[in-house]
Structure 1
Amino acid sequence: MRFVETRWDGYGFFLDPSAYLAELPRLRGVLPPGAWAFVSEPGHYDIPRADRCVKDLELAGIHPATDKSGRLVLEFAPNRFKHESGLRISYTGVRHLSIDYEHSIDWMAVDTVLLDEILPDEDGGCVHEIALTDARITVRCRDLEAVWGGGC
């Protein structure tokens, strides 16, 4: 990720979205509407308090389209100590999906979200990066729609 910092420091994860939050006002009108609505939602980066902060959501499903429609759905289950509901992100015009495994945290049963970042892509779409405890998901798409309580 370009602005959001997520790294394992040997004892736990260091997370810092402050540089991205400083950049966010410049992205208004540049990001596609669905991406902007999701990333600018109040509480998105309010790690200790907000029910709608993505931190600690659990990766529950990855559903690429089986046709050439360019659709993709990522599902995240709620963390029972933090979230009232899960999150479903539906992407349109997907041109790239990658999942890169970076390290091994073998004491966790599932991958959980550390933080995410959405930046504009050169073609008018966006790039959504999601840092997980054991991996990083990158999606290049036209736009996305994020729905809390989306059946997860």
Structure 2
Amino acid sequence: MKYVKVDWDPELHGFRTDARDYVAALPELKDELPEGARAFAADAGHYDYASDRCVKDLELADITLPTTTMAGPGTAVVAYRPNRWKHTAGLRVEYTGVTHFSVDYEASIDWMEAITVLLDEVLPHEDGIEHRTELTDATITVRCADLTATWVSLP
């Protein structure tokens, strides 16, 4: 990621996360983001670890891969379950006009019950945006026209 820092700390036996550089850059970046991405990235609770609207610690629940049709790029969805100790709702992120979708997965954390969000970053891109989400065992990268993030109750 360009601004957000996510690093494994062997002494801590855990991850160090820091979104302060991204939050500081966001006022300049947000005018270049489409409406849905701007609303999601600039939400007051997004990087507030004490907020139930913070993405940190959400648990990966489901991925629906994009399909491209003759009409053009497709839609992808990533759903996250709430962390029972922190969140009151899960998060559903729908990506429209997807031109790139990848999951870089490396099973390395064997003490976690779920793959959880460490932090994410939304940046302007020639396709619209690039949304990168760092998870405990993977990185999801999506380039698309825009995204819609909805906090929802999940079963």
TM-score (ref. length: structure 2):
0.92
The corresponding residue for 1:61 is 62
Letter in 1 for 2:5: E
Distance 1:150 1:64 in 2: 21
The runs of 4+ residues in structure 1 deviating greater than 4 Å are none
Q: Report the alpha carbon displacement of residue 27 of structure 1 after superposing the two structures with TM.
A: 1.2
Distance 2:66 2:47 in 1: 29
The corresponding residue for 1:46 is 48
Within the candidate set 92, 96, 103, 1:99 is matched to 103
TM-score (ref. length: structure 1):
0.94
Per-residue CA deviations over 1:112-149 (Å, capped at 9, x if unaligned) read: 000000000024x0000000001110000000000001
Quick check: 2:67–2:74 contact (8 Å CA) kept in 1? no
CA RMSD of aligned residues (A): 1.4
Where does structure 1 lack aligned partners over 5 or more consecutive residues?
none
The corresponding residue for 1:146 is 149
1:2 aligns with 2:5: no
Alignment of 1:66-81 (within 5 A): 66=67, 68=69, 69-81=73-85
Where does structure 2 lack aligned partners over 5 or more consecutive residues?
none
Quick check: 1:31–1:126 contact (8 Å CA) kept in 2? yes
How many pairs are equivalent?
150
1:128 aligns with 2:155: no
